[in-house]
Every structure is written in structure tokens, then in C-alpha cells.
Amino acid sequence: MPPAMPDFSNTLKLKYVKLGYQYLVNHIVTLTLVPIMAAIFIEVLRLGPDEILNLWNSLHFDLVQILCSSFLIIFIGTVYFMSKPRTIYLVDYACFKPPVTCRVPFATFMEHSRLILKNNPKSVEFQMRILERSGLGEETCLPPAIHYIPPKPTMENSRGEAELVIFSAMDSLLQKTGLKPKDIDILIVNCSLFSPTPSLSAMQLQNSHRCIPLCSSKKTKKKNMPPAMPDFSNTLKLKYVKLGYQYLVNHIVTLTLVPIMAAIFIEVLRLGPDEILNLWNSLHFDLVQILCSSFLIIFIGTVYFMSKPRTIYLVDYACFKPPVTCRVPFATFMEHSRLILKNNPKSVEFQMRILERSGLGEETCLPPAIHYIPPKPTMENSRGEAELVIFSAMDSLLQKTGLKPKDIDILIVNCSLFSPTPSLSAMVINKYKFRSNVKSFNLSGMGCSAGLISIDLARDLLQVHPNSNAVVVSTEIITPNYYQGNERAKLLPNCLFRMGGAAILLSNRRKEHKRAKYKLVHVVRTHKGADDKAYHCVFEEEDKEGKVGITLQKDLMAIAGEALKSNITTMGPLVLPASEQLLFLLTLIGRKIFNPKWKPYIPDFKQAFEHFCIHAGGRAVIDELQKNLQLSAEHVEASRMTLHRFGNTSSSSLWYELNYIESKGRMKKGDRVWQIAFGSGFKCNSAVWKCNRSIKTPLHGPWSDCIDRYPVYIPEIVKL
């Protein structure tokens, strides 16, 4: 072999050459401009005062040129600073320092391993070899539950570790920065392998009391109440009075301007041609005034359009349609319940009563793993359900839109109770071979309202990233979360939750304007996690036998009502017409000043929306919202029929409801849709969409083979 070339990489001379090259390239602009500026400065110093004065006087400044140059500089500066991204500062941070009692020296770790794996010495030896080469020291820590022999990885201990770590870090950060919880506008908590319900972010809100409940309810006893006044609201005369009032207030500007414009037009017609010409000639137009006025209009228009948020289009969406083999008729469900809970007939009877009053039909579906006796909630089966639901919805979406995976810039997947590693978003990226620079997010633990949280996140991202496509996938994986215990509060979700999922394509590209179905108008989010009752009303925990399930408290509907009140308090001013806002304001003033016992005015949201998509969480949820919002049976038809045909599909139920309205041929251009969802924590989230074009009845979709049968009559009780 010939001798190797000498190694010049470490020689002193080459080191300085490399440093010189780096400095030259990194400062090329400075090294070019400094000599030029120095030469100009020296040349000016050579000139005498008289020569400098003569040079200045020789320059001819025209006012128009000065104005144009000034405007150009201001215009360029405005565009530059408005398009420049905001500077993000890291104010401070805090790290959790584990207590000394949690330390695990090598000797302790290996002793525990030998006791836990006493029947498998090879595994103990393998762990020892890994530990010897790991680079870890003697002061690393493990949570208290792992110090037990055997370890106790219960839900309670997991929450305990989360509270210890997160609360300690947050307390330290608030102390270092002097920040108050009410000053925090955005909260993001990431934890890969532990995804409880309510989420860890809700846990932090509950601990720090970030939100103050806006509404409170007190039970009062009615004592000698006077007889109610007769209800005139439906009389014919009052109906026309109300319609006249609404038209008058909502069109006050038009009704004011039209007579004024008509009077001006008539006055102009009275003038002869000569008088009109003389009037025009009497107007004196100065060039400077014209330029300044034009510049001002252009400047205001530029600022307005640059500060205006980008329009977010919902191009299309697709819902997963479960296969027929997954259907669970009432008889099948009850037969399985009797076999699984054969030692507890009262729990079986409880499930039967719930199912009779649930509003579900005979065609709802559960994943294959739940059809086994006993169910098989393994990781493999859970992934199998996730792949079936998500990939089916994604395939349908890509086929409908003609979109290619490489055209997707943002991917958001939300699934509350199943959070594997790699994540579900990584699973989608792997399946469809997305670009390596796709921005992916996986939301977990956010409950049934996570779909609208994902829409809100996609909206914020699309405001920052121009000319982008975002795909949102909303689902809930049932397989690992089917409760097999005996507690009634945890058996309730088994009766209501079913398979479902949806994939939604959002875009801020202008070329999507023509084919997009909807435009996103508003998203309003309300979180009541600061209240202890709201935080615990939907709670994932273990029963006495150690089986994990979700507990639904009896006061759930009351808490949902409070969350809805807070949400519509924010939503109302954004969407209600002026007539409704004025009535609400006058009633509020009257209650404050004249009589607090006046009945509060409930705004008529039917004036703001043509369609309502209420989360199909259960019959009680739909009934409560129909009553509180004073909606007709037709307004809640989509929600009731979705619950009947598909059950509670969690965050994706809103899209089945929207597809129902489309399948009925009711969605016309300009129609407004209000989506309302509730979730653990407790959250109430709303989204408002405006139909971009009249939508034809879809030929393919979850309702294609059964829409002609709907709506169906749903009795209060279905005897089983």
C-alpha cells in the first residue's frame, strides 16, 4: 500500500486559513461596505465648507419627488416590519429536581432486577451489561412506584408521579419569573407514554386555578311564586312584531343610507348639465393633495390586508364507515355482557337500562377485539383498530381531493385514550410516506372535544405558514379502553362509545377557493379545568379490582351546561345579529338596575346559524342543548340520527353529523354551521363554518346506503 497522505487537518497554518475563510464569507457585506463608506467620508473631508454648500445647493428637491420617495420608504418599511415574524423570547425555565429518596444506585437497581426477574437470570445479566456501558451515574432517580417489589404501575401512582414532576417544575418557574397563572395564555404539556383523561394540561389548569368559572348555579326554593304570565311569544301579532324589530335593527345602516342616497340622486337630477359642469369645474384639485390622499388610501389598504388573517378553507373531509362484520345489535351486546359479567347480574341489568334509553340503534359498531369473549385489548389489536379507522378515512380523503401525500404540509392526529410509541401521526407518516419536513402533531387525553382543538391548532399553524395544506385526523380507539369491571359509573361508556373516525383537509391556498366546501369563521374554546367538580366529572381511574375505566359523574350535565354558558358568552357577540345583541344588552341592564328577578334573555341562535352539529355524546346531551338553545327537532336531527346510526364516536361525531346534513341535500351556499363539542377536563369548544358553495348529495360516504331510511322515530325507551 502506498504511504498515506500527510494529515493537514490539524496543522496550525490550515487552522488559520479555515478561520480566515469563515470570517470572510460570514462578514462579506460588512467587509464590502466599510471601505466604500470610508472612501466617501474621506472625500467629503477633503472638500471645503464652500464646496459642500455649493454641492447641496446644486441639488434640486421637488416636493412631489420628496413625497413619492418618502411614501416609498414608508411603504417598504411597513411591509417589511409587518411581514417580519415576531421575536420569540425564552424568558426563563425550570427543571424538576428529583428528591433524594427516589435515587437508584447501581446496586439497588440490580438487586431489584434479581428479585423481579428471579426466574430469568439471563435478562438480569443483560441489564447488568447495559448498565455498565450506559454512562449513567449513581444518583439517577426512578419514581416511588418503581421502588416497590414488584413495581406498582397503577393509574393513581402514575398521576402521582405526573403531579410531583409537573407541579414542582411549574412552581419553580412561577417563582423564578414572578408570573401569575392568570397571565398564562397558552399551555402545552407533552408526555409521550402517559395519556390520562382528563389530560395532563387539564391537571395543571386544575392545580393552578387558571380559569375562574363565569357562571354559578344556586338551588333556591320557590315560595309562593305568582302564576306565570301567559305565553304570548307564539301569538301571530307578536311574531310579526319580532320579525319587524329584527329586520329594522339588522338593516339599520341600509335603511338609513338608502333615503339619503335617493335624496342626493334626485337633487342631482334636478340640476341641468351646465350646472353640473360648473360644479365640477369649481372643484380645485391640487397634485400634492391628490398624491397624499392616494398614498394614504394605499397605505391603509396595505396595512388592512396584511394584518387580515388568512382565510382557512375546509376543502373536503371523509368519515370512516365501519364494516358490517363489526356491528353490535342490542341482543349481541347484552349476550356478551351476560357472559363477561356473569357474576354480577346487577351490572348487566344496569347496562340494559342504559342501552334502552341511550338513543343508539341496531347498526352501531365495536372493533373486532371487543367481539371476543373475553375481549382482547392487546397493543397489537389496538394498533389494528387504529390502522383500520385512520387509513380508511385517509384513503377516502386522498381519493376525494386528488391530494398526494407529498402535498401535505401539516398533519394533526387526535386520539384521547390510545397514545402508543411511535405515535399515531408517525404511523400515518410511515404508511403514506410523507415528506421529512412535514409538521406533525399528536394530541391525546383531550376528550371528545379534541377534534375542534385540532381544528384550532391547524388554523393557527395555517396563519403562520402560507400556501399550505393541513390534514386533521380525529378518532377514538375503543379496543384498549373497554371496561371489564363491575362499577356502574365506568360501565356507562361501554354502552355509548362506538367505532368512528374522520379525516379533514384544511388549506389556506387561494386556488382552493372554488372547490372548498366551507370557510372557517370562528373557533371558541372554553376550559373549566380550574373547577374541581368540572375536572373530576369525567375521570379515568382504577376500580377496586385494579381495572381501568372512565367514571362519568352524575353532575356531568350540570357542568356541561355551565361550560356551554361560558362558551356562548364569548361566541354570542361574534355571531349574533345586532337585534339579538341589543335585546340581550337591554335585558342585562334591566336586571342590574331595575329588577334582578327578571328572566334572563336567551339569544335566538337560530338567527345566526342555519345548521347545528351538537356532539352526539348521548341522548341527555342533545336534549339539554335543544332545551337551552331553544332549538327545533329539525335542528338537532343530525345529532340524534348520528347517535342512532353510529353511536358516540367521540371527536369525530361532528363530521358524521355534517355529512348527514349534506346527504339530505340541505347545505346551500352561504349557510352557517355551528359545531359544539364537549370533552373531559371539562371543555366546551365551538367552531363556526360558512358554506362556500351549494353541496350536492354525496354518492359515497357513511350515510350513502341508509340516508333514505332517516330520520327514524326513536322511542324514549326501547324494550330489550
Please identify every residue annotated as catalytic: 448, 527, 611, 615, 644, 648
Q: What is the rounded distance in angstroms from the CA atom of residue 425 to the CA atom of residue 411?
A: 7
Instruction: Give the distance, in angstroms, between the CA of residue 237 and the centroid of all CA atoms in the same chain.
Output: 44
Strands (E), 241-335: 313-319
The type of residue at 482 is: Y
At 85 the three-state DSSP class reads coil
All three cell numbers of 673, joined, read 354551521
With a CB cutoff of 8 Å and minimum separation 6, the contacts of 578 are 249, 250, 252
CA 471 to chain CA centroid, Å, is 13
Which burial class, exposed, middle or buried, applies to 572 when counting CB atoms under 10 A from its CB (0-12, 13-18, 19+)? middle
Residue at grid coordinates 386520539 = 415
Phi, psi of 450 (to 5 degrees): -65, -25
Count of alpha carbons within 13 Å of 337, Cβ hemisphere only?
Answer: 26
Q: How far apart are CA 320 and CA 656, in angstroms?
A: 9
Give the side-chain half-sphere CA count within 13 A for 344.
Answer: 14
Cα–Cα distances in angstroms (integers) from residue 162 to residues 156, 171, 594, in the given order: 10, 14, 51
Q: 439: alpha, beta or left, given left = phi > 0 and alpha = psi -120 to 50? A: beta
Q: d(Cα 604, Cα 577) in Å, to the nearest integer?
A: 9
The grid coordinates listed for 366 are: 365495536
Nearest Cα to Cα of residue 309 among 470, 572, 567, 82: 82
Cβ contacts of residue 288 below 8 Å, gap of 6+?
Answer: 63, 64, 67
CA distances from 144 to 97, 98, 101 (A): 14, 11, 8
User: Amino acid letter at 452?
Assistant: L
State which H helix or E strand residue 348 sits in: helix 345-356
Cα–Cα distance, 493 to 342 (Å, whole number): 19
Residues in the chain: 720
d(CA 558, CA 564): 10
Residues with Cβ within 8 Å of 247's Cβ and at least 6 positions away in sequence, in order, are none
Are the C-beta atoms of residues 686 and 567 closer than 8 Å to each other? yes
